[in-house]
Structure 1
Amino acid sequence: MIHNPNNIRTAGVPLESAQKVMIMIHGRGGSARDILSLSEYIQDKDFAFIAPEAKGNTWYPNSFLRPISENEPYLSSALEVLASLRARLQSDFNFKIPQIYWLGFSQGACLALEFVARNAAEYGGVFGLSGGLIGPEGTLRQYEGTLENTPIFLGCSDHDPHIPKERVLESETIFRELGGNVTAKLYPNFSHSINEDEINLVNLLIADSH
């Protein structure tokens, strides 16, 4: 195991008493503390927030558009961290799948989206900010399971230097095929960062998911 699944930070309501939990996944060069700072902008105060931290602050070494083998074994280890975190939330804190939400930025968004596609279920919500499904163009997307109308939001610049808009739109299509209730939004000439409109949409989808 390259990444340590126990290297986590939390915020918000204690896990023991929270009604909902949001797993927040940082981007390349970021940290658990960085991504947890976004929790201050989530209007719903019933959440516990939990964020794993990558070894060396990077989940996998190369672009998410490279052949998957070039990002191994880091990618598999990163996905394993998310699997173990989800399992622990279910077994130790009795969260049901619909009480679990995912939010990732950049590399963290790619990781969250890939995990959710590979482990489709009726989550509370999935928010991929500046990210898309992992793998080169033409990757076979043979995902199983169904998202059962899980609210999904994909937000990205239409000229992001790291995330081609085509991949965001391809991911939108895949998540729709998996049964997700997808909202995708491309922001004209926006930078590789998170904007106020994205946070507003995340809050809106959380409020609607009650």
Structure 2
Amino acid sequence: MGGTAFTTTPENPHLTAPPVLHGAPLDQAGLVVYAVHGRTQGPAFMVEQADRVNLPGVAWVCPQADADTWYPQGFLAPLDDNQPRLDQALDTVRTHLADLGRMGWAAQDVVLFGFSQGACLLAEYLLRDQPSCASAFLHTGGYLGPGKRPWPAVPESGLPGTETVLLCAEEDEFVPLDRAEPTAGALASLGARIEFTTYDDPLHHLNEDSIVRLRRMLRTRLLERVEIVAEAEHPA
């Protein structure tokens, strides 16, 4: 692995500080989770979820939004109403993932995890860029904007076959089901392998079943990577 320095710049308010690192050191981990917090939460919230998952061998990279908010208005507002913060937030995700690539982490070894506003940001990123990644876990989120949007496939995109778990309460006070469902459909139309689950749960949170599902996803990816590395080091 290369160095562990993340890009910072005063030109993007979300990039004035490096992400918070938690769990296994990046140069010793078997898997990376890029964990994006929701509105007003901050990286500490994602660190709490990492501790709930409690899976050794995983490095958690938790970016910090300016003032703990990735974009100012609700995610169903017109896109222009959330500029320039939205573009800056998307640039933050791209920059950090590029940093991980420079450190030696293949995109297929990085899981994207977002909650609430963080899930919305990652849904928008996945649909716009259609990047390669190990898996995506989007809890209580959907793509941005007031209405349905077209999502043409990006040539040589990385979404086909990508395991993508989306979870949402049936009556969440911030994220309506009629946006979470088309987000799952849009990702599926681009080839992602979708698992979509709804909860009869009035609280805006990650319940224990969500943590079990996340742990299961990460354990599977971690075991797959260990097997790949072992095979490369000791071919038959």
TM-score, normalised by the number of residues in structure 2: 0.84
CA distance in 2, matches of 1:81, 1:104: 14
Between the aligned partners of 2:69 and 2:131, the Cα distance in structure 1 is 27
Relative to structure 1, the CA distance from residue 146 to residue 4 in structure 2 (aligned partners, 3 Å threshold; closer, same or farther) is closer
Task: Judge conservation of contact 1:127–1:202 (CA < 8 Å) in 2.
Answer: yes
Determine which of 96, 99, 105 is the counterpart of 1:88. Answer: 99
The answer to whether structure 1 residue 208 and structure 2 residue 220 are counterparts is yes
Please say which structure displays the higher CA radius of gyration. 2
Q: What displacement does 1:5 show?
A: 5.5
* Partner SS, residue 94 of structure 1: coil
Which amino acid letter does the alignment assign opposite residue 173 of structure 1?
G
Instruction: Output one character per residue of 1:141-179: Cα deviation in whole Å (capped at 9) or x when no partner.
Output: 335224131111111111011111011110111111111
Residue 25 (structure 1) shift = 0.6
Task: Return the match for 2:147 from 129, 137, 140.
Answer: 137
Aligned-pair Cα RMSD in Å: 1.5
Unaligned runs of 5+ in 2: 1-11, 225-236
Query: Residue type of the partner of 1:155?
Result: L
Would the aligned equivalents of 1:158 and 1:187 in 2 still touch at CA under 8 Å? yes
Give the match for residue 41 of structure 1: 52
Q: 1:183 offset after TM fit, Å?
A: 0.6
Q: Does 1:74 align with 2:52?
A: no
- Say if 1:24 and 1:52, in contact at 8 Å, map to a contact too: yes
> Is contact 1:5–1:52 with CA below 8 Å preserved after alignment?
no
Choose from 14, 32, 51 the match for 1:21.
32
| 2:39–2:69 CA contact under 8 A, matched in 1 | yes
1:186-197 mapped onto 2 (5 Å cutoff): 186-197=198-209
- Say whether the 8 Å CA contact 1:132–1:167 is kept in structure 2: yes
* Structure 2 residue matching 1:162: 3-state secondary structure: coil
* Among candidates 109, 124, 148, match of residue 99 of structure 1: 109
Extract unaligned runs of 5+ from structure 1: none
Partner residue in 2 for 1:122? 132
Residue 24 of structure 1 aligns to a residue in which SS? strand
One-letter amino acid of the counterpart of residue 172, structure 1? A
Distance 2:111 2:127 in 1: 14
Cα displacement string for residues 87-110 of structure 1 (whole angstroms, at most 9, x for unaligned residues): 00000x200011011111100110
Name the counterpart of 1:150: 162
Taking every aligned residue pair, what percent have the same amino acid on both sides?
27
Distance 1:19 1:118 in 2: 28
Once the two structures are overlaid, the 10-residue window that deviates more, 116-125 or 7-16, is: 116-125
Q: Distance in 2 between matches of 1:169 and 1:178?
A: 15
Q: Check if 1:60 corresponds to 2:76.
A: no
Task: Tell me how far apart the structure 2 counterparts of residues 150 and 203 of structure 1 sit (CA, whole Å).
Answer: 17
Counterpart code for 1:112: L
CA contact (8 A) 2:115 2:140 kept: yes
Give the Cα separation in 2 of the matches to 1:167 and 1:143: 20
What residue number does 2:173 align with?
161
Distance in structure 2 (CA, Å) of the matches to 1:134 and 1:195: 24
- TM-superposed CA distance for 1:138, in Å, is 2.4
